[in-house]
Amino acid sequence: MKFTKRLKYYLIGFGLGLFLVFFLFKDRSWDWLPENRVLDFISSHPILVNKDFYNNSKNKSALAKKIFDLVLSGNVDFSKSQTKGEIKTYRIFSDSTQIEIALSFSDSISRVIQIEDSSLSYTKNLTNNGVELHMDKINFLNLIHDIEFNFNDKILCQFTSLGLRRNMIKDNLQSLKVMWEHSKPYKKPNPFFISTITIESKEYIVALERGGKRIRFNACVSSNTVDLKSNPNLQDFLHNSNCVEQ
């Protein structure tokens, strides 16, 4: 068989193969790629930073945003990463900045050990003298903005009692503030968040769960009805909150 004919058959087969791969995997994510596996692991587990460095940081919100910008949208430089041993380190970069993160897959912990040219002290015990970083508001809102919102019967009833409508959540989403001390952002399989939201100059507390394809809102109460001192466990308080239709 002539070379040109063999090449023709090869290109036809290669093209069909690409079509089949796209058709079979078009609705699937690329989580199996090494870079995505590393970044997904980091973003779905607690991220720590040196406590002294964090306490001395003048702008803690900007620090958190810088870290999560890279974890959510950066790239891994494997040539400058150490992937052997129990504690692995990964260099994550973008066009303007870079960090280095140490992690333990067995302990499900990540720790920032370098920001730009500044090295941060750490030990093999990644939790030692560390403080957990919480996702900044901008990245959190970007994470949930385009996901479908679902509302259970209880919260719809509570909306009616409070004079609210479901579309008001989306319309006032920019005012949403996560109460991280009451939330469980790494809960499996569905992270759980308790947040405040301001609607028509009034503040409410809402409970929401993040699923794979949707955000489920489960409860809503006026913040005026919640005494955090007598109800330190807001999750249980919201879970047990009832609504009687008028």
Say yes or no to pLDDT of 30 above 60.
no
* pLDDT > 70 fraction of the chain, expressed in percent and rounded: 87
What is the CATH number that goes with domain 146-240? Answer: 3.30.2310
The mean pLDDT of 81-109, rounded to a whole number, is: 92
User: Which CATH fold would you assign to the domain 34-132?
Assistant: YaeB-like fold (3.30.2310)
Report residue 233 as tokens. Answer: 């466990």
> What are the CA-CA distances from residue 197 to residues 61, 116, 170, 183, 221 (Å)?
19, 35, 10, 15, 10
Taking each helix axis from N to C terminus, what angle separates 137-145 and 60-73, rounded to the nearest 10 degrees?
Answer: 40
CA-nearest of 11, 66, 73, 78 to 40 is 73
Whole-number pLDDT of residue 207 = 95
Summarize pLDDT for 138-167 with one digit per residue, the tens.
999 998 988 999 999 999 999 999 999 999
- The Cα–Cα gap between 210 and 44 comes to 12
Say yes or no to pLDDT of 29 above 80.
no
Q: Which amino acid is at 186?
A: Y
Quickly count: other Cβ atoms within 10 Å of residue 108's Cβ: 12
Whole-number pLDDT of residue 124 = 87
Say yes or no to pLDDT of 241 above 90.
no
Whole-number pLDDT of residue 32 = 61
- Spell out the domain ranges in the chain: 34-132, 146-240
The mean pLDDT of 195-224, rounded to a whole number, is: 94
